[in-house]
Each structure stands twice: as C-alpha cells, then as structure tokens.
Structure 1
Amino acid sequence: MKPTENEQVRLAIPNKGRISQPIIDLLEKGGLHLQSSGGRKLITKTVDPMVEVLFARPIDIPEYVASGAADLGITGRDMVLERGSQVEELLDLKMGEARLVLAVPEESGITTAEEMADMTIATEFPGITARYFGDRGITPRLFPVGGACEATPYLGVADAIVDLTSSGTTLKTNHLRIIDELLSSTTIVIANSISRTSKALKIDEICLALESVLAAQGQCYLMMNVERRALDEVRNVLPGLAGPTVMDVASNEHLVAVHAVVAEERIYELISQLRKAGARDILVMPIERMIR
C-alpha cells in the first residue's frame, strides 16, 4: 500500500559538508538504504516506503523541520542554535564534534570579549555571535561571511572571528588565538514537535536504527569453544556487556560455546590470553548494529 503524505516521514540531511557522507553511511548501516537512480535528487526514497530523505543545506535543516517541511532532521547543534528554530532534540549522534570559538590575531593584546565594543567580528554565525555579545552588553560590528572566516583578520576586514574549530590547527596556521568558547557542537537528530506525536512509531523506529549502529561502533563479537574445566579461567579473561554467554555444544559434552561482545581495541591482547586460558576455535566478527 502506498503511504499517504500524512503517514510518510521525511528526513532532512546535509547535502554537503564534512558530516554529509558519515550521515549517509549511518543510515545505510541502520538499514535505511537510499534508493538512488543515477545522480542525487533533492528528495530520495529509501528501502522503507514510509521514509524519504530530503537533501538540504545544513543551516536550512532546522527551519525545514520547525516548519514541518521535514519531520526529522540531522544537522549540527550549532546550526539549530544559529537559526533559533523551535525543534525537539531526539538523539546526539556524537559525530562532527566542534567548538564555536572567539579568536583574535596572536599579536593582538585583546584577552576578553568585553574589549571588543568598537571592533569588527567576522563570522558565519551572526545570530549566535550577536546573542553572545548582547549578553555582555556589547554591540560590535558583525561581518557575515560564507567561508574562509579565519582569513579575514589577515585581509584587514575584521579584528576577530567567531568560527568553528575541531583541533585548532587551522586557527594556529592562520596565527589566531582563542580567547573564549561560545559553545560545543555535535551532530544531532531533531524533530518537528507535531510530527513527534503524530508519527511517533516511525520516528522511534528510525532513531532506534541509528542508536543501534552507534552502540555497535568499536565493538566485536567473539565466539569460541572452551573445555568445561577451563571455563572459569576464560570467564576471568573475557569482558562483556553483561558477562559472556555460555552454551552447551551438542556434539561434545566436554565443550561449551562461549560468546561475548568486546571492545575492538581489546581484541589483539585478548586472543592470546584466551588461547592460554584454554579457548579454541576462536572467531571474531564485526558488529553492524546492537540493540540493548
């Protein structure tokens, strides 16, 4: 049965930028495969006939969701705060981490925001920046830019910048010094408040799919056979979410099968320890999704 417009959930995701492909990968791993017919369309169907994906600029996604043009959106928290959109935050994807900072040239004598009353601030976030300085009773001149914000002091068009940084390397390369942090941002899932109620079942299903992928990141599934007499020693070696699962092996009463989920970073050292403890036929498998 073809879904009606009132039943279908539209998910807005970035059409470009550093988090665009990771978000698409997350949807694919969650089972929400995008059905592409050669070239990306503005609106793309998914394997679920009840869900379609809207590709949009990250800064526009909060308003698409707030207005109901999209039921769900995935974008940076900084974009939501910049727009001031009335949406519900459902899930923090813990990706695309960055800080929005106030920075000045290294040779500048400025150490606080309060010293910038008559200065020009270049930024891609005029809304957040205006509120930040307004809270301090300051109204500097704002110089909105669409990119390459860090170059504006060198070009002589700004005295300072408010910009996103992940590692701080770009700021250092451009001889800029951070004097304050306005906010920290990650990629989040947001929802329209009306859709959150009227389409709750499908929205919860989508969020569960995404959460299951996030929960599986950095985890591996271990399977092995163990002599019963060595089981306690293997248990002592083997970590797990709730302890290993132990099952009888039908073909050999002296063996048990042991399964466990362990951190991928532990695998290298665990294999050797498990062999010494008496495990054999050890199998390591990747985990795509994990629902707790």
Structure 2
Amino acid sequence: MSKLKIAIQKSGRLNEDSMKILKDVGIAIVNGKDQLKASAKNFPLEVFYLRNGDIPQYLKDGVVDVAIIGENVLVEKGQNITVAVKLGFSSCKVSVAIPKGKGYNSIKDLEGKRIATSYPNTVNQFLKDNNVNANLHIINGSVEIAPNIGLADAIVDIVSSGSTLFKNNLKEVDVILKSEAVLAVSPQISTENQAILNKLQFRLQSVLKARNSRYVLLNAPNNKVDDIINILPGMKSPTVLPLAEEGWSSLHSVINKNDFWEIIDELKANGAEGILVCPIENMVL
C-alpha cells in the first residue's frame, strides 16, 4: 500500500507545532528519539525529519510528497512549489532592520548600502521590485551582529518577537514578507498519493476551522430572539430551543474567535444572558 511521505523540520518550534496538528487530525506517529523517519499507525503516512533549508529540494526532487514548512523558506528556495493549506502557526516576518540611531524613510534609503541576510533570493527580488541597487552579504547564522562589526549597514532576517533585534541595538523598519507554516506539495506527487493528500487536507481544514471558531450557547427572551439571530453569524442559522421557563429560548451557534468580544458585547446589549463560549475540536463542513 502506498504511503504519503511528509517532511517536517527536524527540531524546534515548527517541529512541535507540526507534530501537534498531525495528532489533532487523528494521526498517531510512532517515533523514537533521534529517529529520522517514522510511520503513522493509523494513516498511510511516513514522516521524514529534515533540516528546514533542505526541504524545498526534497520536494522538487519528489523524495517527499508534501512538507510542513515556513512560507519564508518556500519563497527563498521553493519556487514553483504549490501551497495546499496555510496552517496558521509559526507566524513570523522577513524584515529589514537597521541600527537604532539611523534614520529611515523608505526602501530607497537602502540604495548603495550593504545588506547582510540569509535570504538572498527574497531580498534580491524585493530590491528589484523597488528599483533599488544594494550590495548583499550572505550570512548563514547570526545576521544581527553584522551592523555592529561594520560588515553591513542593514540586515534582512526573520523577526518574531523582535527581542533579538533589541538586544543587538537594531530596529525593524520594513517588512518584506509575512510568513506562516504551510503544507507544501511536491510537483512530482503521484496520483495515488494525491488521493491520500486529499484526505489529509480534509482533516487539516476541519481542525483549522475549529481552531478559528467558538461554540456559543446563550439564553434570551423570545421577543429578543430575532435581534440576536441577526447578530450571530452561524454556519447556516443558529439553533433555537425553548427553555423550561416560559417566554425564553436557548440559542446555539458558532462564531469566529477573532470576533468573540465584539459579538459578546453586542449579544449582551440585546438581552442575551447566561452566555457560554466553548472551544471546538473539529468542524466537518
């Protein structure tokens, strides 16, 4: 029986988040310490633990069928590789940073300057798109130190919390790319493995939809039900059930977690009481 081969970062936060989402979609991985390959017990899937920067080439060569990888790495090294699903975790930015004491008005200020980066393809494309000529110094590792030792006037690197920039007396001045983890697909995936991938995608989308939603239960007087229904977005329409107390109903619906507080305040203003908000494990649409 064919198995879908998936590449995952060997270690670090992306590895942890990747393994968690596979667990959340019901896939049990049997892997020992320092193992480079593992199989799922209950799904036709093999996991390959690889260096993040090597994964795009494995996808291009068809060594693996799919990968959970940062969008930033795919943009830098994985041109023409398809993104099947955006996964919503491991968010970061590829940004321009300069010493705190320097001024910056626009990308044009980098004309003729020296830029240190681990993302030459991404930076070159960005400079080309903005008609800016600069000198790139390619560094694999601690890019942030380059301005402090006189190697560069600016850097382009991954920014998450910004603490590393702060420690190195740098400030973020421009964002080239916003990135998150994605499920990327090899151009050489077989028809048989594409069918397995379709099943995996369905599960992933159910979990991602659930992560971004909340289940809401509330009580309301019957004369306010129509007003509250107009507030609740729901998947189709809210469920309305009569309560034992005459003149009252219970309403059940699903809301986007990002709209949570705005909707709750509006519900309360329109007579809703006893509001319960619960996480959702899966949403099969």
Q: Aligning the two structures, in what range does the TM-score lie when normalised by the shorter sequence?
A: 0.7 to 0.9
Tell me if the contact between 1:30 and 1:210 (Cα under 8 Å) persists in the aligned partners: yes
1:286 matched residue in structure 2:
279
Which residues in structure 2 correspond to 1:254-265 (within 5 Å)? 259-262=252-255, 265=260
Tell me if the contact between 1:120 and 1:143 (Cα under 8 Å) persists in the aligned partners: no
Q: Partners of 1:269 and 1:283 in 2: how far apart?
A: 10
- 5+ residue gaps, structure 1: none
Q: Which of 16, 24, 29 is the equivalent residue of 1:21?
A: 16
1:212 matched residue in structure 2:
206
Tell me if the contact between 1:118 and 1:141 (Cα under 8 Å) persists in the aligned partners: no
Q: Which of 38, 41, 45 is the equivalent residue of 1:47?
A: 41
Residues 49, 214 of structure 1: alpha-carbon distance in 2 compared, 3 angstrom cutoff: closer
Q: Secondary structure at the match of 1:94?
A: coil
Tell me if the contact between 1:14 and 1:55 (Cα under 8 Å) persists in the aligned partners: yes
Instruction: Give TM-score scaled by structure 2 length.
Output: 0.79
Identity of aligned residues (%): 26
Report which stretch shifted further, 257-266 or 117-126: 257-266
Aligned residues: 277
Instruction: Give TM-score scaled by structure 1 length.
Output: 0.77
Deviation at 1:68, TM superposition (A): 0.6
Report which stretch shifted further, 152-161 or 21-30: 152-161
Q: What does the per-residue CA deviation read over 1:173-198, in whole Å, with 9 as the maximum and x for residues that have no partner?
A: 43323343322212111101231644
Q: Partners of 2:228 and 2:65 in 1: how far apart?
A: 47
Tell me if the contact between 1:100 and 1:184 (Cα under 8 Å) persists in the aligned partners: yes
Deviation at 1:244, TM superposition (A): 2.0
Q: Secondary structure at the match of 2:123?
A: helix
Which residues in structure 2 correspond to 1:192-207 (within 5 Å)? 192-195=186-189, 197-207=191-201
Deviation at 1:216, TM superposition (A): 0.6
Q: Partners of 2:52 and 2:106 in 1: how far apart?
A: 30
Tell me if the contact between 2:91 and 2:178 (Cα under 8 Å) persists in the aligned partners: yes
Tell me if the contact between 1:124 and 1:163 (Cα under 8 Å) persists in the aligned partners: yes
Residues 107, 39 of structure 1: alpha-carbon distance in 2 compared, 3 angstrom cutoff: same
Residues 77, 44 of structure 1: alpha-carbon distance in 2 compared, 3 angstrom cutoff: same
Which residues in structure 2 correspond to 1:1-292 (within 5 Å)? 3=1, 7-36=2-31, 38-109=32-103, 111-114=105-108, 116=110, 119-134=113-128, 136=131, 138-146=133-141, 148-195=142-189, 197-222=191-216, 230-231=221-222, 233-234=224-225, 236-237=227-228, 239=232, 240-246=234-240, 259-262=252-255, 265=260, 285-292=278-285
Tell me if the contact between 1:33 and 1:47 (Cα under 8 Å) persists in the aligned partners: yes
Deviation at 1:113, TM superposition (A): 4.6
Q: Partners of 2:3 and 2:147 in 1: how far apart?
A: 48
- C-alpha RMSD of matched pairs (Å): 3.6
Residues 237, 12 of structure 1: alpha-carbon distance in 2 compared, 3 angstrom cutoff: same
